Chains A and B, each alone.
Chain A
Amino acid sequence: MLKKYRPVIGLEVHVELGTRTKMFCSCSANHFLAEPNTNVCPICMGLPGAMPYANKKGIMATIKAGLAFGCEINSFSKFDRKHYYYPDLPKGYQISQYELPICKNGYFDLKESDSKSKKIRIRRIHLEEDTGKLVHRTLEGRKVSLIDYNRSGVPLLEMVTEPDFESANEVDLFLREVQLAVRYLDISGANMEQGSMRLEANVSLCKEEDVFDLKKGIYPDYKVELKNINSFRFLKKALEFEFERQAEILSRNEKVVQETRGFDEVKAVTFSQRVKEEAQDYRYFPEPDIPLLTITVDIVEQVQKSLPELPSQRRERLMKDYFLSSNYTELLVSDLKRAEYFERAVILAKEKDIEINKVVGAMINQNLDIKFSEPAGLIKYLLEIKNKAFVSADEVVASIDVVIHENQQAVLDYQSGKEQILGFLIGQVQRKLKGKGEASLVSEKIKEKLKS
């Protein structure tokens, strides 16, 4: 069914910035697990007479994100008021950015494989304040809704992409990259469970014969908004469900209702949350309590210079400098802490003349970076092994035989193409040899055995 249609997907990603204080007051921005309404003041509670005072660190973090995603930084930017009523929004409006976001017109090179890459356009990245939280409870037999303002005013970065995605896989890959990038930039923990990263996808289907129009900026005449989905995996499932659902409707020559849909994790289906008859009128106007932001070339250059290495850059460097396989590289790069551990270990390893491969092997195959919380410990251990006499080739082969016998399922898996199982088998052999097997010898012999 899908063959007749091509998905058109755009994303809105919200990321809470990890600043020490909130965006417009000096309350702590850390609201996770805090006692309700303890990190609050007149400003973030929107009391009469209170006024916002912008947090420079939040603005700098947004510029940082913009530069990392190839955006232009607006030399004049401003905050606007976005009006709507909701009990968790204490002022009746959210301070956000409308006409002049801090960052615009960015892009991201999405690498689907070593040979295939696609440019995703980023329309804008702007800064706004988070809302409070409603908690629904039963107190003394009465159903009540309570408001916790701890989260109110926490800086929130919003990234809006163009509708450039055409598959759930692309979306998934992109979101993981965004999450990793903001962690590398050290601007957010981007934790899905804690709600510091939130996803929304706009999805519609384009008839195959109209695909050419997409390039001209002509998109399908409807879109369905997927909201309140709190994991990458669920979003992927929700998208896939939507493709089928919409394709089925379109193939009957019916119109897809423009609406907001949520995802039922148990039934694995999307469901209607709110039908949008017309766009909500937020009555945007410039926030008069905050002066215009002037972002000079100097500031932009200063931030540019302070940009850390990004995941894509690190991947390239690890593979080029250390000849790491793409598999090992990914396992290191996708975990910032691990990547940094590795970099520190490499410096020490060089001093002690230990091969980089040994370091990676010890980390990835034996998880020794968990055992040794400091790289120095790991290197010390590797040095001990290196200096230890290795067991003979016969002993290695004998151990391999035992391991193969004991792990028949793993062997079958390996032979059916799951090459990553090799590491596990090597680990088992080393365990039998109490670490005294020479790594290259073990690897060579086990491969030989497994082939036969």
Chain B
Amino acid sequence: MIESVPDTIEKLQEGLLKKNYSCVELVDYYLNRIKKYDSSLNSFLTISEDSAYSQAKKMDKVLNGGSFSLSEYPLLGVVVSFKDLFLTKGIRTTAGSKVLQSYVPPYSSTVVMKLLSAGAIMIGKTNCDAWAHGASGENSDYGPTKNPWNKKYVPGGSSSGAAVSVSSDFSFVALGTDTGGSVRQPASFTNLVGLKPTYGLVSRYGVVAMASSLDTIGHFTKTVEDSRRILAVTGGIDNYDSTLCGEKGEKIGEKIKIGIPKEYFGEGLDLEVREIILKAIEILKKKGIAFKEVSLPHTEYAVPVYYVIQPAEVSSNLSRYDGVRYGNDRDSFGSEARRRIMLGTYVLSEGYRDAYYLKAMKVRKKISDDFDHVFVDVDAILCPTAPTPAFKLGEKANDPLKMYLADIYTASASLAGIPGLSIPAGFTKDKRPVGMQLLGKRFNENKLFDIGEMFQKLTNYHLEKPVI
């Protein structure tokens, strides 16, 4: 039995090639850990043991066959979990909601197929806020997921189980979705690297839609280097998602300049988080990176605008669960989904549409323009991922407005469609992880990865593991 697994995909695959372990043994390792520890964390909704072993055996055959190249199977042996929003053919997909509690899809999402054909091994489907509505994981109809760094705390959301599956070593990487911060914020709360890619880079086909103009397919890894590797597989056009475009980013120059948006360091920012981010800036400054204060003047409107557009699209996307199919009627929707359906229906109604939805769309453009102006001068923006570290279970559960403010530093990038990368930046005194966020120009993920890798070479935060 394997004792531990290396930190990066590169090292993992070295071990496979040296026959230190097989893919089947990797699956044994993770399944064993899930069985041992997940009952107290609740990060998985479905364990796909059979398909994991059959894929592992297939990959072991490839390995033993000899004549293959890693460029054919760039994710060979990488054990992955999928947020339960990703459709998996023949394997139950619930979206964290009772409405779909027995739904077994007849097809798989593009990203699932891409990962499997790159040699990755699916281990199971992870818990999340129902329909991805939430910032704590507490809105799941299957019970909350707990933070492995301290089980009294939330792991963030909505990709709660996805984050926990990687930080607890239940899978090597995890796929999640980020509509307003649902990958970046839980990454920050669980000491992981979380990527929200540019809108239009990764196919959304086959992923239960939350708010279609904002949804992106992101992932959790321990290192920035691996985040780049996963994106190389997930990104790119398919013939199903017509919002994808094949645009390429720019290369980073010799002199790197990063903007610090003053609006992200004001009221509401936890003092410990603030200190940690400022320290991270100092670390990068020593490496010769230039910093500059910048302004994103429409930042204060991001959360209100987000909570008009997003529920509008939610109300539309959830209307297909009309009780005719899937076995459960609309009474099975939980209170947060109902709240958003009502809010969204209201803002799209005749007479309110102009005042709310169309107005919000106009402000959205202004928020997007803010970023465009700033990126003329800087390669990236650095700011906190979330205003606080992980909060206690139940702390905000009964106050939706407070919960919505957890998106305050992530919603803008979602509205603008730009990429965001959350990277472990330190810990609070009571050992709760804190992430910093890098934002970049559309399709310029590589610049964020370059800066992030530089930071991870200078720090060891990402190597620290929770004691479960």
Contact = CB atoms under 8 A, between A and B. Distances in A.
Interface of A: 42, 46-54, 81, 83, 85, 87, 90-93, 147, 279, 281, 283-285, 288-291
Given A283-B316, A291-B242, 10 more contacts: A42-B107, A48-B87, A48-B103, A48-B208, A49-B86, A49-B208, A87-B322, A93-B319, A283-B349, A283-B350
A42 B320 CA distance: 13
Contact of B320 (A46, A53, A279): A46
B275 to A, nearest CB: 39
Contacts of A50: 205-206
B316 A48 contact: no
Question: Considering the complex of A and B, which 9 residue pairs feature the smallest CB-CB distances, nearest first?
Answer: A92-B319, A288-B213, A283-B348, A288-B212, A49-B206, A48-B208, A281-B350, A91-B320, A49-B87
A91 B242 contact: no
B118 interface: no
Given A54-B242, A289-B242, A281 B319 contact: no
Contacts of A90: 320, 325
B88 to A, nearest CB: 10
19 contacts: A47-B106, A48-B87, A49-B204, A49-B205, A50-B205, A51-B205, A81-B316, A87-B322, A91-B320, A92-B322, A147-B324, A283-B315, A283-B316, A283-B353, A284-B353, A285-B353, A288-B212, A288-B243, A290-B242
A50 B208 CA distance: 8
Residue among A49, A87, A283 with the highest chain B CB neighbour number at 10 A:
A49
A285 B86 CA distance: 25
B212 A92 contact: no
B141 interface: no
Interface in B186-241: 204-209, 211-213, 239-241
Contacts of B345: 283
Interface string B81-114: 0000111000001010000100101110100000
Nearest to B213: A288
Contacts of B349: 281, 283
Nearest to B348: A283
B312 interface: yes
Interface string B301-312: 000000000001
A46 B345 CA distance: 20
A49 B320 CA distance: 11
B93 A48 contact: yes
Interface of A is mostly: loop
Contacts of B348: 83, 283-285
A83 B212 contact: no
B294 to A, nearest CB: 29
B344 to A, nearest CB: 9
Contacts of A284: 348, 353
B205 A87 contact: no
B357 interface: yes
Contacts, number: 93
Contacts of B313: 285, 288
B208 A289 contact: no
A283 B315 CA distance: 10
Contacts of B107: 42, 47
A290 B240 CA distance: 11
A424 B207 CA distance: 68
Given A90-B320, A92-B322, A93-B319, A47 B105 contact: yes
Contacts of A147: 324
Contacts of A51: 204-205, 209, 240-242
Contacts of B319: 83, 85, 91-93
A285 B312 contact: yes
Contacts of B87: 47-49
Contact of A48 (B100, B239, B312, B350): B100
A53 B322 contact: no
Contacts of B357: 285
B9 to A, nearest CB: 27
Contacts of B241: 51, 53, 289
Contact of A93 (B105, B109, B316, B325): B316
Nearest to A53: B242
B209 A49 contact: yes
A48 B243 contact: no
A210 to B, nearest CB: 29
B113 to A, nearest CB: 12
B282 to A, nearest CB: 41
Nearest to B103: A48
Nearest to A280: B350
A53 B239 contact: yes
Contacts of B239: 53
Contacts of A83: 316, 319, 348
Contacts of A47: 87, 105-107
B105 A48 contact: yes
A98 to B, nearest CB: 11
